[in-house]
Amino acid sequence: MFQQRHPELWANRTLTVRQARRLIDDLDPEQDCAEITHISLEVMTPPLFSHMAYTSGFARGTTHPAEARAVHRGAGYLHAPVNRDRDTMTFFGLLHRYGPHSPELQELADRIQQIHHDVRGVGNQLQLHILGLMMYEPERWARDLGLPDYFTDREHQARYHLWKAIGTRMGIRGIWDSYGEVEPWILAFEEKHGARSSEGVEIYRGQIRGFEKYFPRPLRFLAGPVLTAGLPVSARDHLDAPRVPVLVDKAMRAVATVVRLTEPVRPVNLSSTWVRDFSRMGDDPDISRMGYQHDTSSDPRYAKVAAAGEGHRFTVAEGLQPGRGCPMHGAGM
């Protein structure tokens, strides 16, 4: 039975953002990386902000045409962008909840890699690119909205250590030795590979459609500009992103400043999680039903390993094998 290392940091307790920040001061950025990232992103940061920062990271990923083509093939972002975004955020919430000291982290990494296997594979360099964006995009996003010191160095270090642990469980090779190496690597990678692709453009339109759902109907036309205001200028052309009116940019910065200035009094609750905010399947979702759902019956790779009735399981260590899934995966996948 899973036991959280610091259940008090997930308790139903209301406090101000400033008090929540103080809790981080007593935690270790490596050992307590999941706890710090939980407080930093799930508790202190409004869910829509976190969602936007990660949407921006995802969109940056698709400025690499090969990445855009792989995501396009999966088609989830074209047909059901809201479900895809919600499932992604839920996966990340579960990664925070279980953290690097639990066997469940490996099960989550196995399931994510099963999805990548099912969409016909995702190369190591591309995964490294996304991994780096997970580590660093929240800092870039806040900085570009005028909040360079929104996160402390301890929070950056914790995000780095958490995602390093996740990337290692996913089998990603060549992970950086320090947080400081991540941004230069990403910029050089994007300088070399970033380009416009029709798939990238189409996916970004899907993301905007998904994001529109957070706006009341008469204001939905603002979804594209608001989402794009958080996107690095270098990525906007590649994705044919809508123009950001000066007023929208100013309004976003104003909201960000208010979020920052109200920290001494703004109430938050330690029990806030992305699982609670975004899950389509409650607080304890079956991860085999989350995310991209593959038609295994018509995939010869599955048939070759075992007949449908026998079941399959996928792990990073062994790939596709006959047998039943682990408890978090649900039975039989």
Interior CA angle at 121 toward 117 and 123, to 5°? 135
Question: How many C-beta atoms lie closer than 10 Å to residue 257's C-beta?
Answer: 13
Between residues 70 and 105, which has the closer beta carbon with respect to ligand HEM?
70
Give the residue, chosen from 87, 110, 199, 212, that forms a contact with ligand HEM under the rule CB under 6 A.
87
Interior CA angle at 200 toward 163 and 138, to 5°? 30
Contact between 195 and ligand HEM per CB under 6 A: no
Q: Which stretch binds ligand HEM (CB under 6 A): 42-50, 76-84, 197-205, 300-308?
A: 76-84
Give the residue, chosen from 9, 24, 34, 71, that forms a contact with ligand HEM under the rule CB under 6 A.
71
Distances, alpha carbon 211 to alpha carbons 116, 196, 219, 230, 259, in Å? 24, 22, 12, 13, 20
Q: Which residues contact 279 (CB under 8 A, 6 or more apart)?
A: 86, 90, 93, 285
Q: Which stretch binds ligand HEM (CB under 6 A): 44-52, 71-79, 240-248, 306-314?
A: 71-79
Q: Using CA atoms, how far apart are residues 5 and 11, in angstroms rounded to an integer?
A: 12
Contact between 159 and ligand HEM per CB under 6 A: no
Contact between 328 and ligand HEM per CB under 6 A: no
Hey, what amino acid is at 174?
A: G
| Residues between 95 and 124 that touch ligand HEM (CB under 6 A) | 112, 115-116, 119, 122
Interior CA angle at 83 toward 90 and 326, to 5°? 50
Contact between 9 and ligand HEM per CB under 6 A: no
Between residues 14 and 124, which has the closer beta carbon with respect to ligand HEM?
124
Binding stretches for ligand HEM (CB under 6 A): 61, 67, 70-71, 74-77, 84, 87-88, 91, 112, 115-116, 119, 122, 126-127, 130-131, 167, 291-292
